[in-house]
Structures are given as structure tokens and as C-alpha cells.
């Protein structure tokens, strides 16, 4: 899988986690641990996207 394709998949996953987090936060029945886990997963994906973008820009030079 190319870096571009991997980035596209990660961005889709990030958007899905963002939507899932927004939905969870809209329901008061969702516990704090679940919300914290979603935030952690979303941040992990965001960090991976940033790492790949940095790696990609370094590879181009």
C-alpha cells in the first residue's frame, strides 16, 4: 500500500472516530471511559497521519 493510500485510509478512520465521538458525547448514557478511549484512538490516528505526512515530505526531498 502506498503512503498516499495509507493516509487516505487513516483520514477516513479519523473522520469515523470523530463522528463516533460526537455521537457518544451526545448521549449522556455513554460513560467517561468510553469517551476517553475514543479520544485516545482518534489522537493515535491523528499522530500517525502527521508522522506519515512528515515522512512523505522528507522522502520527496
The residue behind cell 451526545 is: 26
Distance CA(55)–CA(7), nearest Å, equals 11
What whole-number distance in Å separates Cα of residue 20 and Cα of residue 39?
10
Q: What is the pLDDT of residue 57?
A: 76
pTM exceeds 0.75: yes
pLDDT digits (tens, 9 = 90+) for 24-42: 999 999 999 999 999 999 9
Query: Which pLDDT belongs to residue 61?
Result: 60
pLDDT at 2 over 70: yes
State the pLDDT at residue 46: 98
pLDDT of residue 52 exceeding 80, the answer is yes
Amino acid at each position: 500500500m502506498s503512503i498516499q493510500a495509507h493516509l487516505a485510509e487513516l483520514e477516513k478512520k479519523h473522520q469515523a472516530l470523530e463522528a463516533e465521538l460526537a455521537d457518544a458525547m451526545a448521549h449522556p448514557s455513554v460513560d467517561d471511559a468510553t469517551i476517553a478511549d475514543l479520544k485516545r484512538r482518534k489522537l493515535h490516528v491523528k499522530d500517525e497521519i502527521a508522522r506519515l505526512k512528515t515522512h512523505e515530505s522528507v522522502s520527496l526531498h
